[in-house]
Amino acid sequence: MLYRAIKVRIYPSSEQSQKLTQVMGCARWWWNYALNLCNETYQQTGKGLSQVALNQVLPKLKKSEETGWLKECYSQVLQSTTLNLTKAFKNFFEKRAKYPRFKFYHGKQCCQYTQNCQVVENGVKIPQVGVIKASIHRLFDGQLKTVTITKTPTRKYYASLLFDTEQETSEVVLTGKVVGIYLGLKDFCITHDGSKTAKYANPKYHQKHQKNLARKQAKLARKKKGSISRQKARKLVARIHERISNTRQDFLHKLSRKIVNDNQVVVVENLNIKGMVCNHKLAKAISDVGWGRFVNFLDYKLQQKGCLLVEIDRWFPSSKTCCNCLYQMSEMPLDMREWNCPSCGTHHDRDENASKNIRTEGIRQLSVLGTRTAAVRAASRREGGEVRPKGGRKSVLRHSPVSKDAPTSV
Ligand SMILES: [Zn+2]
């Protein structure tokens, strides 16, 4: 089944936004209560609580005098909060995410409806709230599965509409171009498609807004806690963060769209982004470029087209290897932008050479695995599963020991 989602801005009336705030408050309260309950149960018994066990707590809470107001909240919203908490724990135990955290009033608020929602003319119909005005610019055929409503710290409302398009994911047929992408910091990415190399500059959004952000944050810090002027200052800071995130997302969408339109297979390195962010000198720059999100964008756009994302092993020596004769340098410092191969004498641009090697390795993997296995692997990556070649086979171009030190290909 192919799910597709669309996020639209919604414009609730003041009455509706009051109701939504109430529902979000209930969802947040239940999240925090359930999380606390999980923590306590774990301390006492050494075991966690299942989704079913958590949901069984809800009727008792609704009957109790103190928490009877939970009855006012649409019950599906609370149950989907339970589901999301269970998922958060699962992601934590499978080492994909941090331990679930408590939610606060300040910050992004959300609630999720899993049933009885409807897209109508000029709006979205939500149980208990009614039709909320929305600007829906496109729709998908299929069944509306969930509606997630979020409220940003700048008090804008959005609805994410998830559709089950009821299409089978198309069989991958590969006939077109294969592109290798090297993700860098100096340039955002370098692509090589067999004939052409293209470089895309890194926009460095955070850096651009840094001064403004620092000034407004300093202002916020001086405000008295609980005052109205503090609220206003907080909103100004939130607005800058929002702008940075929007422009970055826009850039990533446009670039991934262009690459997907031009190619059938996209090969990237499986980057250990978390590990690299630990390098303090590079942490901010790496968080700013948004590689992880970029790869996700590429992946889902390719999937929609019936094309393929191939991820190669992160230990693959893409920067160190000569793409011409496969000679492998023992070392390749980060600041060495150009080099000459000692074996065949070819002059290399560091990142261009890396993108060529990534492409070659992707093609080799596809020919070994076949497209079907590669597609299955891409799907398992999407599910958050561990993507590792069975039997621990490492990607190398030739038989040589694979270095286990940190990748120099940053
Ligand atoms: Zn060479």
From CA 158, how far away is CA 150, in angstroms rounded?
A: 5
Shared-domain flag, residues 81 and 156: yes
pLDDT grade for 12, boundaries at 50, 70 and 90: very high
Shared-domain flag, residues 189 and 332: yes
Shared-domain flag, residues 156 and 184: no
From CA 97, how far away is CA 399, in angstroms rounded?
A: 35
Indicate the average pLDDT of the chain.
Answer: 84
pLDDT grade for 280, boundaries at 50, 70 and 90: low
What is the pLDDT at residue 250?
A: 92
Residue 404 lies in a domain: no
Shared-domain flag, residues 47 and 185: no
CA–centroid distance, residue 112 to ligand 1 (Å): 56
CA–centroid distance, residue 329 to ligand 1 (Å): 10
pLDDT grade for 205, boundaries at 50, 70 and 90: confident
Most confidently modeled of 171-180, 237-246, 272-281, 379-388? Answer: 237-246
Shared-domain flag, residues 136 and 185: no
What is the pLDDT at residue 169?
A: 62
CA–centroid distance, residue 368 to ligand 1 (Å): 25
Query: How many C-beta atoms lie closer than 10 Å to residue 106's C-beta?
Result: 9
CA–centroid distance, residue 392 to ligand 1 (Å): 28
CA–centroid distance, residue 348 to ligand 1 (Å): 9
What is the pLDDT at residue 409?
A: 35
User: In this structure, are residues 115 and 162 in contact, taking their beta carbons and an 8 Å threshold?
Assistant: no
CA–centroid distance, residue 345 to ligand 1 (Å): 6
310 CA to centre of own chain: 17
CA–centroid distance, residue 179 to ligand 1 (Å): 21
pLDDT grade for 392, boundaries at 50, 70 and 90: very low
Residue 280 lies in a domain: yes
Q: Read off the pLDDT of residues 294-333 as tens digits, 9 standing for 90 and up.
A: 988 998 898 888 888 898 877 788 888 999 999 898 888 8
Residue 253 lies in a domain: no
Pairing of strands 347-349, 338-340: antiparallel
CA–centroid distance, residue 341 to ligand 1 (Å): 5
Bigger pLDDT: 175 or 19?
19
User: In this structure, are residues 126 and 147 in contact, taking their beta carbons and an 8 Å threshold?
Assistant: yes
- Enumerate residues 6+ apart whose C-beta is below 8 A from 130: 16
User: Is the pLDDT score of 397 beyond 60?
Assistant: no
Q: Angle of helix 280-289 relative to helix 291-305, nearest 10 degrees? A: 30
Shared-domain flag, residues 122 and 82: yes
Shared-domain flag, residues 184 and 147: no
From CA 164, how far away is CA 140, in angstroms rounded?
A: 9
Q: Read off the pLDDT of residues 63-89 as tens digits, 9 standing for 90 and up.
A: 998 898 999 899 999 999 999 999 999
User: Is the pLDDT score of 388 beyond 80?
Assistant: no
Residue 233 lies in a domain: no
What is the pLDDT at residue 284?
A: 66
Shared-domain flag, residues 128 and 14: yes
Pairing of strands 143-151, 109-113: antiparallel
Q: How far is residue 233 from each of residues 107, 222, 239, measured CA to CA in Å? A: 14, 10, 10
User: Is the pLDDT score of 2 beyond 90?
Assistant: no
The residue behind tokens 């590669």 is 374
Element (H, E) at 397: none
- Enumerate residues 6+ apart whose C-beta is below 8 A from 177: 193, 194, 262, 263, 264, 265
Q: What angle do CA 159, 286, 347 make, to 5 degrees?
A: 130
Residue 173 lies in a domain: no
From CA 239, how far away is CA 152, in angstroms rounded?
A: 10
Q: Read off the pLDDT of residues 225-257 as tens digits, 9 standing for 90 and up.
A: 889 999 899 999 999 999 988 888 999 999 999
User: Is the pLDDT score of 155 beyond 70?
Assistant: yes
Shared-domain flag, residues 155 and 304: no
Rounded percentage of the chain residues whose pLDDT exceeds 90: 45
- Bridge partners, 74 (sequence order): none
CA–centroid distance, residue 327 to ligand 1 (Å): 5
From CA 80, how far away is CA 56, in angstroms rounded?
A: 13
Task: Please name which of 47, 71, 48 lies closest in space to residue 59, comparing C-alpha atoms.
Answer: 71
What is the pLDDT at residue 277?
A: 58
Shared-domain flag, residues 158 and 184: no
Cα dihedral 344→347→349→353 (10° resolution):
-20
CA–centroid distance, residue 310 to ligand 1 (Å): 25
Q: How far is residue 129 from each of residues 18, 20, 160, measured CA to CA in Å? A: 10, 7, 16
Rounded percentage of the chain residues whose pLDDT exceeds 70: 86
Bigger pLDDT: 185 or 188?
188
Q: Read off the pLDDT of residues 96-144 as tens digits, 9 standing for 90 and up.
A: 778 999 998 888 899 999 989 989 888 999 999 999 999 888 778 888 9
CA–centroid distance, residue 321 to ligand 1 (Å): 8
Residue 287 lies in a domain: yes
- Bridge partners, 147 (sequence order): 113, 161
Residue 284 lies in a domain: yes
Residue 206 lies in a domain: no
What is the pLDDT at residue 138?
A: 79
Q: What is the mean pLDDT of residues 331-339?
A: 84
User: In this structure, are residues 168 and 156 in contact, taking their beta carbons and an 8 Å threshold?
Assistant: no
User: Is the pLDDT score of 405 beyond 50?
Assistant: no
CA–centroid distance, residue 58 to ligand 1 (Å): 66
pLDDT grade for 383, boundaries at 50, 70 and 90: low
From CA 86, how far away is CA 35, in angstroms rounded?
A: 9
CA–centroid distance, residue 307 to ligand 1 (Å): 32
44-58, 244-258, 281-295, 388-402: lowest mean pLDDT where?
A: 388-402
CA–centroid distance, residue 340 to ligand 1 (Å): 8
User: Is the pLDDT score of 400 beyond 50?
Assistant: no
- Three-state DSSP at 216 gives helix
CA–centroid distance, residue 163 to ligand 1 (Å): 50
Q: Which domain holds residue 271?
A: 178-201+263-392
Shared-domain flag, residues 189 and 110: no
Task: Please name which of 399, 401, 326, 323 lies closest in space to residue 359, comparing C-alpha atoms.
Answer: 323
- The single-letter code of the amino acid at 93 is F
User: Is the pLDDT score of 285 beyond 80?
Assistant: no
Pairing of strands 109-113, 118-120: unpaired
User: Is the pLDDT score of 270 beyond 90?
Assistant: no
CA–centroid distance, residue 195 to ligand 1 (Å): 19
What is the pLDDT at residue 406?
A: 37
CA–centroid distance, residue 25 to ligand 1 (Å): 62
CA–centroid distance, residue 265 to ligand 1 (Å): 26
Domain count, the chain: 2
User: Is the pLDDT score of 283 beyond 60?
Assistant: yes
Shared-domain flag, residues 145 and 13: yes
CA–centroid distance, residue 335 to ligand 1 (Å): 20
What is the pLDDT at residue 407?
A: 36
From CA 261, how far away is CA 177, in angstroms rounded?
A: 10
CA–centroid distance, residue 354 to ligand 1 (Å): 13
Q: What is the mean pLDDT of residues 257-261?
A: 94
Task: Please name which of 158, 160, 161 lies closest in space to residue 141, comparing C-alpha atoms.
Answer: 161
What is the pLDDT at residue 393?
A: 36
